[in-house]
Amino acid sequence: MTKQLTVAIVGATGAVGTKMKEQLLKRNFPIKDIKFLASAKSAGKEIEFGGKTYKIEEATPEAFEGVDVALFSAGGSVSAKLAPEAVKRGAVVIDNTSHFRMDPDVPLVVPEVNREDLKKHNGIIANPNCSTIQMVVALQPIREKFGLKRVIVSTYQAVSGSGISAIEELRVQSGEWEKGKDVEAKVLPVKSEPKHYPIARNVIPQIDVFTENGFTKEEMKMINETKKIMHLPDLEVAATCVRVPVVAGHSESVYIEVEKEASVQELFDVLKDAPGVVLQDDINNQVYPMPIFVEDEDPVYVGRIRKDLNHPKGFHLWIVADNLLKGAALNSIQIAEAMLEDNLL
Amino acid sequence: MTKQLTVAIVGATGAVGTKMKEQLLKRNFPIKDIKFLASAKSAGKEIEFGGKTYKIEEATPEAFEGVDVALFSAGGSVSAKLAPEAVKRGAVVIDNTSHFRMDPDVPLVVPEVNREDLKKHNGIIANPNCSTIQMVVALQPIREKFGLKRVIVSTYQAVSGSGISAIEELRVQSGEWEKGKDVEAKVLPVKSEPKHYPIARNVIPQIDVFTENGFTKEEMKMINETKKIMHLPDLEVAATCVRVPVVAGHSESVYIEVEKEASVQELFDVLKDAPGVVLQDDINNQVYPMPIFVEDEDPVYVGRIRKDLNHPKGFHLWIVADNLLKGAALNSIQIAEAMLEDNLL
């Protein structure tokens, strides 16, 4: 990887954008030049990167001239407007928003699962939803060996998935122990929705807005994106997405049904060597994944693997990963790295 | 209900015992006399009840002389030793520990579900596990109309289920925001186990100790007790039990498969008139159950009811209740009330 690239980050001051900066440095991404783009309001502000100070530029179509790869994480409407402009000017866009994910012309990629799809790109590659990424990384090695028929997931999602203001809300509320349900809530579950609920000492069974069928958008993302990434349009997927008072690290209680009978030991065997996965399952020593210990860690951790007591092809798993890293920033950079290696950049 | 009874509480200073005292007063339970029993260590201490001060007596076999109903909540070994002694002396025991629950001679009762089983008692009635009670209260009305074939539950359980010391641990850790994973942990997940993990900003996929098959005891309680209470030995039940940083109120993400096809509206219809249930499902107005709002409330709240997108007999539900009330103290007192009404006391 000697090729040096000009990189742009759109939305560099957000929770995911900050992690993208860290990952580019930590992974020694071959950067020739880097630009930080934002709305007119933030343009002119200064931002640190690798010991140097940069001025944030306004994200206009022209700002993408000369950019090789543009990492977008500034909301769906920004991507909708500017990603095509970046592509028009020769950039490859890796978009962390949901805007293009289900577009049949846009590959939706988790390199451990469907790296081959990168070859079919038309300038834009979508980075999947955080909860979806960690689940498919863990399920793909099982699917390869035993097939996959059904998935039922209940999530325990960290507030960082809702941005820096949600982390701050949890911090403030956590200090106001005596106030209980009377703490002030302005951000969660969804900033733009009329009602807000406390997250400290609470769990909220709403992430993103509701859709017609009673599932939330977050739940439908898990359902639809899983099928697209795994190329399993007939996979039966159901999701219940819940916000919990955790800063970083999404956890998932996942029930699966595979196609071929398997044992817990066989699942251990495929997972312990699987790319991007750490098997953390030693109940005799109370070893299982927990979100507080995965913050700033790259892998997807899997544990609590049990065979269903009634269905010989049914298994229960507990999957945890840092939602801002493998769930967002890290996966985006891994997409860029894979494209470089495969001469797609 | 004019009959007046002599009541004993064993374990009155614990999290559940305290709520039992409150419930007896709040529900005007017909008390002729009340005694508070504990270990020799606590005997002689004073305890308040209904504006009067009582001396705690040592829980010896003889202390149950003259007692009509004894409410036990002081750990399985205390119940094992003293419940038979209380019965020998003419008391009816309502036991909140797990010790007798799966004994075929002991009814395991949630009055809304299997009140009839009280008639078969031999002196001891077992109060089920907290997470099980709220689930069967919500599922029974559905089962009566549509049958029930399968249940897969993932729980979000409050720390109060682990006692007063666990609530205190969460309180202290919540104030130590900057320490993150380095806060001191001494109680959770299981006090007697070698390893303890922080609960603030974390979720822990272990409640109670592990069993041979990889499920925890808490998970096996939900599986076995549900079948016994509902008289459905062949019901397919699976559970994943997780501790979350919530003080009071267990939440459950539950997938069910019924026997007869049904619509979401039909489930609404049976649940809105079901005993002990409050239907709280109006997603257009962001109305769904949350633990912080059920503290000190009697009912079991049900919301987020959705039809599975692949299985016409599959439904997803979100069930929340105060684990110390309907999950423990309230259900125990309701058992005593039902026995009084049915002339079993």
A41, A157: one domain: no
Question: A-chain residues within 8 Å CB-CB of B316?
Answer: 238, 240
A266, A170: one domain: yes
In this complex, the residue of A203, A237, A289 whose CB is nearest that of residue B246 is A203
A300, A163: one domain: yes
In this complex, the residue of A240, A292, A303 whose CB is nearest that of residue B202 is A292
A253, A215: one domain: yes
Question: A-chain residues within 8 Å CB-CB of B289?
Answer: 205
The 3-class secondary structure across B63-111, one letter per residue, is: HHCCCCEEEECCCHHHHHHHHHHHHHCCCEEEECCCCCCCCCCCCECCH
Residue B44 and residue B66 in contact, taking contact as beta carbons nearer than 8 Å: no
Question: B-chain residues within 8 Å CB-CB of A280?
Answer: none
A58, A107: one domain: yes
- CB of A343 within 8 Å of any CB in chain B? no
| DSSP letter for each residue of B238-305 | EEE--B-S-SS-EEEEEEEE-SS---HHHHHHHHHTSTTEEE--BGGGTB---GGGTTT--SEEEEEE
Range of the domain at B218: 132-323
B319: closest CA of chain A, how far (Å) = 10
pLDDT, one tens digit per residue, over A173-199 is 999 999 999 999 999 999 999 999 999
pLDDT, one tens digit per residue, over A28-84 is 999 999 999 998 998 999 999 999 999 999 999 999 999 999 999 999 999 999 999
Cis (ω within 30 of 0) for the bond into A289? no
A231, A162: one domain: yes
Q: What is the mean pLDDT of each run of 10 residues along chain B (345 residues)?
A: 89 93 97 95 94 96 98 96 98 97 98 98 98 98 98 98 96 94 96 97 98 98 98 98 98 98 98 98 98 98 98 98 97 98 95
- CB of A246 within 8 Å of any CB in chain B? yes
Binary contact (A284, B210; C-beta < 8 A): yes
A33, A151: one domain: no
Q: What's A32's domain CATH number?
A: 3.40.50.720
Binary contact (B201, A292; C-beta < 8 A): yes
Q: Residue B311, SS3?
A: coil
Residue A146: pLDDT above 90?
yes
- CB of A194 within 8 Å of any CB in chain B? yes
Instruction: Specify whether A130 is catalytic.
Output: yes
A332/A72 Cα distance (integer angstroms) = 9
Taking each helix axis from N to C terminus, what angle separates B330-341 and B15-26, rounded to the nearest 10 degrees?
Answer: 40
> Which of B177, B202, B255, B302 to probe by mutation at the A interface, max A CB count within 10 Å?
B202
Residue A1: pLDDT above 60?
no
Strand order in the sheet with B236-240: B236-240, B150-156, B250-257, B314-321, B300-307, B277-279
- Catalytic residue positions of B, numbered: 130, 250
Partners of residue A307 on adjacent β-strands? A315
Residue A130 and residue A250 in contact, taking contact as beta carbons nearer than 8 Å: yes
Binary contact (B205, A318; C-beta < 8 A): yes
A56, A109: one domain: yes
Binary contact (B201, A246; C-beta < 8 A): yes
Q: What's B247's domain CATH number?
A: 3.30.360.10
Please identify among residues 124-153 of chain B the ones whose CB lies closer than 8 Å to any CB of chain A.
150, 152
B37: closest CA of chain A, how far (Å) = 31
> Which of A202, A211, A213, A317 to probe by mutation at the B interface, max B CB count within 10 Å?
A202
Binary contact (B206, A289; C-beta < 8 A): no
Q: Predicted confidence band at A171 (pLDDT cuts at 50, 70, 90)? A: very high
Partners of residue A58 on adjacent β-strands? A38
A93/B24 Cα distance (integer angstroms) = 65
Binary contact (B264, A181; C-beta < 8 A): no
- CB of B118 within 8 Å of any CB in chain A? no
In this complex, the residue of A204, A242, A293 whose CB is nearest that of residue B253 is A242
Q: Tell me what pLDDT residue B207 has.
A: 98
A89, A178: one domain: no
pLDDT, one tens digit per residue, over A256-307 is 999 999 999 999 999 999 999 999 999 999 999 999 999 999 999 999 999 9
* Cα distances (Å, whole numbers) of residue B74 to B12, B24, B25, B45, B322: 8, 18, 20, 16, 20
A103: closest CA of chain B, how far (Å) = 21
Binary contact (B189, A286; C-beta < 8 A): yes
A282, A203: one domain: yes
B116, B146: one domain: no
Q: What is the phi/psi pair of residue A50, to 5°?
A: 60, 35
Please identify among residues 273-302 of chain A the ones whose CB lies closer than 8 Å to any CB of chain B.
283-286, 288-293, 295
B34/A103 Cα distance (integer angstroms) = 69
Question: B-chain residues within 8 Å CB-CB of A205?
Answer: 251, 253, 288-290, 303-304, 318
Binary contact (B202, A286; C-beta < 8 A): no
Q: For B208, name the nearest residue in chain A, comparing CA atoms only.
A: A286
Binary contact (A245, B240; C-beta < 8 A): no
Question: A-chain residues within 8 Å CB-CB of B315?
Answer: none
Q: Which amino acid is at A202?
A: N
> Which of A216, A237, A250, A253 to probe by mutation at the B interface, max B CB count within 10 Å?
A253
- CB of A104 within 8 Å of any CB in chain B? no
- CB of A39 within 8 Å of any CB in chain B? no
Pairing label, strands B300-307, B46-49: unpaired
A152, A261: one domain: yes
Partners of residue B48 on adjacent β-strands? B53
What ipTM, to 2 d.p.? 0.97
Binary contact (B255, A264; C-beta < 8 A): no
Q: What is the mean pLDDT of residues A131-151?
A: 98
A165: closest CA of chain B, how far (Å) = 16
Of A121, A130, A231, A316, which one is the catalytic site residue?
A130
B79: closest CA of chain A, how far (Å) = 28
Domains in chain B, number: 2
A106/A109 Cα distance (integer angstroms) = 9
Find out whether B263 is annotated in a ligand binding site. Answer: no
B41/B11 Cα distance (integer angstroms) = 12
> Which of A172, A174, A190 to probe by mutation at the B interface, max B CB count within 10 Å?
A174
For Cα atoms B111, B142, B295, give the angle at the middle one, nearest 5 degrees: 55
- CB of B175 within 8 Å of any CB in chain A? yes
Strand order in the sheet with A5-10: A57-58, A31-38, A5-10, A69-72, A92-95, A124-126
Residue A119 and residue A98 in contact, taking contact as beta carbons nearer than 8 Å: no
Q: Tell me what pLDDT residue B9 has.
A: 98
Give binding residues of A as ranges.
13-16, 41-42, 101, 157, 160-161, 243, 323
